Structure 1
Amino acid sequence: MKILPATPDHHAAIAAIRTDVVRQTTAIFHTNEWTAPQVADLIAARRAAGRDLWVVVDAVGTVLGFATYDRFRGGDGYDHTMEHSIFLTPQARGQGAGRALMQVLEAQAAAAGVHVMVAAIDADNHAARQFHTALGYAETGRMPQVGRKFGRWLDLVLMQKIMDDQPAD
């Protein structure tokens, strides 16, 4: 496995992975699917802000997943708090791809001065919660019935990791 910044060659695969997650799971509460041009626009916007979208590829270059991060909320008081997204193909789960992606993502975020990284997870997604706990994230909030998908209400768990020990100015 290799972790790389996404290139145009990866756009269609990234869109396909996210579309599968949207259609099949509650890992993301959104129902909008991405196209390759939308992925290109997202990557351009993230790069302009100093953030990359990373992919994990196998030995032949097949995209197995991706991860990215962006602002947690608007307003300059949140400049040092980011929320990440990570999505893997079913065959990549449990193989170390997610951990490898997160190590690169967190290293980039820490180098950019990110103080807190947030994960927003479906409360029923026990595997994602365990994954984040293993990476040092702690549950900091639970929001009942804030999402709706597949005809049911979804609870959101917020987890966070403090990335540095920098004091506030």
Structure 2
Amino acid sequence: MDYQIRLATIDDLPTIVEIFNQAVPLQVNDESTPIKVADRREWFRQFDHTHPIWVAVVNGQVIAWCALEYFYPHPAYNHSAQIAIYIHEDYRGQHLGHDLLTYVQKQAEGNLDIRTVIAYIYVENNASYRLFTSCGYEKWGKLPQISKINGRMRSLYMMGRHFN
């Protein structure tokens, strides 16, 4: 598949939200119902040159996105990021996730001042667990019964990776 990766713009936000909402029924994120674009405008504003959000594009259409969110709102953590990655349902299973994580690695090692990337993955999300493991992330811990979604308590793996 021929695609390009670029920084996201505010014009990409509707498609970013659409792709995110495709994952809601899979119970792989924190939402129990779809979110709205208006709900994500403030979230989108957090991204900058140190903690970017990228999109993968085919023929002008966004098919995936990957974001490095601020891990914690204190300057001591500015070199750390929490990663989120979502792929349009029509493009899953085509190694795009691996390609995006490899791209993030190159950016962290070359252009960004990010030294640690953390991923929170629900224990039921085997596909994401395998993806991050295949890209050198390690399981750093488990947060048992930490969230409640649709009346059910859920556990998260904390996975991470250090970069040069």
- Equivalent residue letter for 2:160: Q
Partner of 2:60: 61
Residues 50, 114 of structure 2: 8 Å contact kept: no
Q: Map 1:5-20 to 2 at 5 A.
A: 5-20=7-22
The offset of 1:139, in angstroms, is 0.3
The offset of 1:54, in angstroms, is 0.7
Q: 3-state SS of the aligned residue for 2:20?
A: helix
Q: CA RMSD in A?
A: 2.0
Paired-residue identity, %? 23
- Equivalent residue letter for 1:5: L
CA deviation digits over 1:14-65, x for unaligned, max 9?
A: 111112223x122211346140x55554444312x5332111122x222211
Residue 2 (structure 1) aligned with residue 4 (structure 2): yes
Q: Map 1:9-158 to 2 at 5 A.
A: 9-22=11-24, 24-31=25-32, 33-35=35-37, 37=38, 39=40, 41-47=42-48, 50-58=50-58, 60-110=59-109, 111-158=111-158
Q: Provide TM-score, normalisation by structure 1.
A: 0.84
Specify every segment of 5 or more residues in structure 1 that has no aligned partner in the other structure, as ranges: 165-169
Q: Provide TM-score, normalisation by structure 2.
A: 0.86
C-alpha distance in 1, partners of 2:154/2:74? 27
Change (3 A) 1:145 1:138: same
C-alpha distance in 1, partners of 2:62/2:89? 12
Of 90-99 and 125-134, the range deviating more from structure 2: 90-99
Specify every segment of 5 or more residues in structure 2 that has no aligned partner in the other structure, as ranges: none
Q: 3-state SS of the aligned residue for 1:46?
A: coil
The offset of 1:162, in angstroms, is 0.9
CA deviation digits over 1:131-150, x for unaligned, max 9?
A: 00000000010011101112
- Equivalent residue letter for 1:94: G
C-alpha distance in 1, partners of 2:142/2:72? 17
The offset of 1:88, in angstroms, is 0.7
Residues 140, 160 of structure 1: 8 Å contact kept: yes
Residues 51, 81 of structure 2: 8 Å contact kept: no
Change (3 A) 1:29 1:40: closer
